[in-house]
A and B are shown apart, each in its own frame.
Chain A
Amino acid sequence: MIGQAGATALLLLGLICVIMPAVTWVILARQHSPVVALWCVGYLLCASGLVLIGFRGAVPSWASFPVANILGFTGLLLSIQALRLDAGTPWRPGWMLVACLVYLLTYKALWLGLEKPALRVCFVSLTCLILLTQVAMLAWRIAQREQSTAAKAIAGSYLFMAMTMVVRLAGLAWLGGAASPHPLLRIVMTIAAGVLPAIVANVGFIGLALERSLRQQVEAAASQARLEERQLLGNEIAHLDRQRGFGLVAASLAHELNQPLTAILASAQAAQRGIAADRLAPAESLELLDKVVSNTRRISSISERIRSFIRPTVADAGPVDLEKITGEMLDLLKVDLRRLGIRVVFSKPALPILVPGDAVQLSQVVLNVLRNAVDAVQLVPDRSIHIQVTRSAGEAVLGIRDMGPGLDPGLAEQIGTPYFTTKEKGLGMGLSISTAILRQHKGSLVLRNAQGGGACVDIRLPILAAGGALA
């Protein structure tokens, strides 16, 4: 009766050891994690062991204790391996196999060689104790590392199981091999030492996995937010840089605006005075009015250029004509180029080369590079800049070469990093912003010393085919 009750307790425990990992598996199967698989299989092996012991007498004796024990041992090993794998320090499978064999042989030796079952029970309990402690320690380490309550629950439950083994061993030592504890006590012990910890450990395992995936989601969301923020900030900086770039050419633009304004004012006032003094023929008045009109158009084209350059944009996907934006930026710099006596040689492609992207941002890159070239050629007598738009290996290449002093090889590595500048009034942001913009456009910027002197910047971008798709 009581023996049957003991078997029932073991079967109940075995059932729990099947149900709990099954639940774990169902919940965590989506993670496709070998850790979960090892954990569940480990439990199933233990469960089979427990069921075999529960059916002892009904199954051949060789199949009950030895097989059950080796199953339990292997199951616990797999649990350990699951946690070790999780920690990134798994055992080699070969070593585990060896451990199983050694365990089996030792057990068999004890079974066959010595007629003392107490020693055998002692051996089994001791190995169990060691393995359970091992699981508890690993779980505790995870709990420490991740501040996880779930892992603490696992550690606690395994520690509790280990303690029951200690109690069992103590009982063996105290009562001697002959006497075994009261069967009822064994049933209570089995349930207390097995069922509850098995449930707690599995719930803890599920909890740990869920905690992690939640944390991952939070982290992913946080990093996404950071990325977006960075991008927003990047746009903001790029916008500021554009405004600053505009500030640098503002003096030139003021002059450029002043020219047509001067012509308009002079024409209008000439007409005024001429008509007032009755000294102007109608044809002449018309001529003067024509001048007013044409120069007003000149101004509006300049202001359009300014507006399109400084508008804060949402990234656009093009198509952008590289030659066209380069020409526009050269126009922005026109006055400076003329004032400084800089010669620009612009080799244009036979057909326009279109790239996908944001015209304003790409213009900014071109202006940055052109400004660097303008600064560089001022240091030398040969004030010329060579610009070339070509196709090369399926890419659009805008090459801007100045005949300036070139790059100092000692500083080459620092060039392009934020805040690095060789210029007195520079912020050191130009090239890093340009590089960032080009990266967003799946392009690149290479700065090198050209053969025959001077620096050369190659801006590479993917080409947009005629249909509007990427070539």
Chain B
Amino acid sequence: MTPGLAASWANAELRKQPGRQHSERSHRGRVILIDDDLEILAALSYLIELEGYVCETFSSALDYLGQLALPRTRPPGPCCVLVDVMMPDLDGLEAQRRLTALDDTPLLLMSGASGVHEAVTAFRAGALDFLIKPLEAETLLLAVEKALAVSRERQSLQARSLALTHRLVALTNREHDVAIRVARGDLNRVIAKDLRLALRTVKLYRQRAMEKLEARSTADLIRVLQEAAL
């Protein structure tokens, strides 16, 4: 056996191997593939897995929605959904509507018919891309990569805003009031007068709020509060 072939065998074994390898791949990205045609599911998942992503296949959007409804922790890492528009029990556009109502996983739609109407509807409903079957591997993988990047960005944004929310929650009411006014640009003196506090107390609250929000400067404080408001 040539070394190349042996390596390829090993690689193949690795691809099939669950467990640690799976979680590594999952980190790279997870593609949820929904199509009623089993042949297409098989072929596309091959192509996607070959690129080192995890590919979960569903032959019906209802199956996937049912699985989402189960109380289960989702594997970490970016994730996108690639769904066929023309399906018997629940078509792609309807699936898109239900999925976007559930979470903000980026959606890619694919269709055999180059229906302008469907494409427009899909984009209006926030689809990231609309792929025409038969899919070019290049196009598909680029779209998947882009969708996973969007997912990653959304996830990190979500994580940040979650962290910020945690920090905001840690503020007392007074600290919060003071922080808001500082962010608005009010002077300590004005804040003290407004809130009927001693200037010293205002300074203390301001100091504590900055510590709790992990802001190093007033400008930092303003940015943090703005992000949290998102």
* Closest A-B pairs by Cβ, 8 of them: A258-B112, A269-B137, A266-B43, A281-B12, A338-B88, A263-B39, A262-B134, A270-B47
Cross-chain contact A258 with B133 (CB below 8 angstroms): yes
Q: With the chains together, A270 CA to B45 CA distance in Å?
A: 9
Q: Which of B36, B42, B47, B136 has the most CB of A within 10 A?
A: B47
**Which chain A residues have a beta carbon within 8 Å of chain B's beta carbons?**
251, 254-255, 257-267, 269-270, 272-274, 277-282, 284, 288, 291, 294-295, 298, 335, 338-339, 341
Q: Are B113 and A255 within 8 A (Cβ)? A: yes
B50 and A270 contacting across the interface, CB-CB below 8 Å: yes
For the complex, what is the distance from the CA of A254 to the CA of B43, rounded to whole Å?
19
- By the criterion CB–CB under 8 Å, are A295 and B39 in contact? yes
| Cβ 8 A contact of A254, one of B7, B8, B112, B140 | B112
Residues of B contacting A281 in the complex (Cβ-Cβ under 8 angstroms): 8-9, 12
Question: Does B4 lie within 8 Å of A262, measured CB to CB?
Answer: no
**Nearest chain A residue, comparing its CB with the CB of B12:** A281
Cβ contact within 8 Å between A288 and B46:
yes
Question: A278–B12 contact, CB under 8 A?
Answer: no
- 14 more contacts with CB within 8 A, not counting A262-B135, A274-B50, A291-B42, are A254-B112, A259-B40, A260-B39, A262-B44, A265-B134, A265-B135, A267-B47, A269-B47, A269-B137, A273-B137, A278-B8, A279-B12, A291-B39, A339-B88
B82 → chain A closest CB, angstroms: 12
Task: Give complex CA distance A282, B1 in Å.
Answer: 12
Chain B residues with Cβ below 8 Å from A277 are 50
Residue numbers in A under 8 Å from B42 (CB-CB):
263, 291
Q: Tell me the residues in window 37-62 of chain B with beta carbons closer than 8 Å to chain A beta carbons.
A: 37, 39-40, 42-44, 46-47, 50-51
Q: Is the interface of B mostly helix, strand, loop or mixed?
A: helix
* A–B pairs, 28, beta carbons within 8 Å: A251-B113, A254-B112, A255-B113, A257-B112, A258-B134, A259-B37, A262-B37, A262-B40, A262-B44, A263-B42, A265-B137, A266-B44, A266-B137, A266-B140, A267-B43, A269-B136, A270-B137, A272-B137, A273-B137, A279-B11, A279-B15, A280-B50, A281-B12, A288-B43, A291-B42, A294-B39, A298-B39, A339-B86
- B39-A270 in contact (CB<8A): no
A458 to chain B, nearest CB (A): 30
On whether the beta carbons of A266 and B40 are closer than 8 Å, the reply is: yes
* CB-nearest residue of chain A to B14: A279
Chain A residues within 8 Å of B133, by CB: 258-259, 261-262
Instruction: Bits for B122-142, please: 1 = Cβ < 8 Å to A, else 0.
Output: 000000000001111100100
Contact of B113 among A254, A284, A291 (CB under 8 A): A254
Question: Is B91's beta carbon under 8 Å from chain A?
Answer: yes
Taking a contact as CB atoms under 8 Å apart, the answer to whether B11 and A259 are in contact is no
CB contact under 8 A between A255 and B86, given known A262-B134, A263-B42, A266-B137: yes
Residues of A with C-beta under 8 A to B9: 281
Q: Report the minimal beta-carbon distance from A457 to chain B, rounded to whole angstroms.
A: 25
| Chain B stretch 51-84: residues in CB contact (< 8 A) with chain A | 51
Q: Does any Cβ of A come within 8 Å of B103's Cβ?
A: no
User: Is there contact, CB below 8 Å, between B136 and A262?
Assistant: no
